Amino acid sequence: MPGKIALVAGASSGLGRAVAECLAAAGHRVYAGARSFAQGKEPPKGCQALALDVTDDNSVRAAVGEIISREGRIDVLVCCAATFTMAPLEELPAETLADMMNVNLLGDARCVQAALPRMRTQGGGHIVLFSSLNGLFSIPFQGAYSATKHAIEAYSQALSQETRRFGIRVTVVEPGDCRGGSQRYRLTHIEENSPYGEAFRAGTQKIHHDESHGLPPERVGRAVARAVGKKRPPARLVVASLEQRFGAWLHILLPRGLFNRIMEAYYR
């Protein structure tokens, strides 16, 4: 079902950029939103750039309003904007966690609230929210990021229940480790002489290794494009290696204490 009007928030790099390009390649009219497009950054191939700051209510409303003004409708909203800081939870500044929640959760909520009225009026739409396998289980030193993605899981489930009667479908995407992504939004925080120092260095080194050997972002982009093209899109879309899917299965099957010990040992 090509020819849909789509907005991809967080489309300047990584998964968001890959999703935007794959949707455009599938024949959809794609508006790629990101703050960096206001400074002249080149948009994803085949897409139209929109200046969009998901932390700013006015910016979000203006971007969605611009699309509706040009096209008369908005069929697909994909929320990919995200940031994270790896840190021991004891040492993570509260304001850093608040900033992550503002982008990763509230940013999605702002976009959803801006797009939903038009989707209801037109009798349908498709909202795609990006969670992560870390939205299913947490790992050391990514607890804050995992908390934002756990929140997306709950938000998307309730959103689906509330909007299905209006012909709106909601898909939550749960990618595993993927290559690429801007390092501007992938930070670390560790106090000097931290008691977590050795474990933090080992854990973050393992995380970086797994990400650098992860899936190409285009694989996630193609999976999202296929889901958008379906008459009945899936409620959940897992895109991950077999090894990482196995981790999710263990989280379900094993006692919580045993699973936590396995994760601690893996990242040690």
**Per-residue pLDDT tens for 252-265?**
999 999 999 999 99
* Active-site annotation holds for 145: yes
The confidence band for 181, taking pLDDT boundaries of 50, 70 and 90, is low
Q: What is the mean pLDDT of residues 179-195?
A: 79
* Active-site annotation holds for 69: no
Contact 140, 183 (CB under 8 A): no
Q: What is the pLDDT of residue 179?
A: 85
Catalytic pick among 149, 155, 156, 267: 149
* Active-site annotation holds for 146: no
Q: What is the pLDDT of residue 75?
A: 98
* Active-site annotation holds for 182: no
* pLDDT tens, residue by residue, 209-259: 998 888 999 999 999 999 999 999 999 999 999 888 998 899 999 999 999
* pLDDT tens, residue by residue, 27-69: 999 999 999 998 888 999 999 999 999 999 999 999 999 999 9
Catalytic pick among 12, 13, 138, 146: 12
Q: What is the pLDDT of residue 93?
A: 96
* pLDDT tens, residue by residue, 109-157: 999 999 999 999 999 999 999 999 999 999 999 999 999 999 999 999 9
Task: Tell me the pTM.
Answer: 0.94
What the chain holds in terms of domains, given with CATH numbers, is 5-266 (3.40.50.720)
Catalytic pick among 13, 59, 131, 138: 131
Catalytic pick among 13, 132, 145, 146: 145
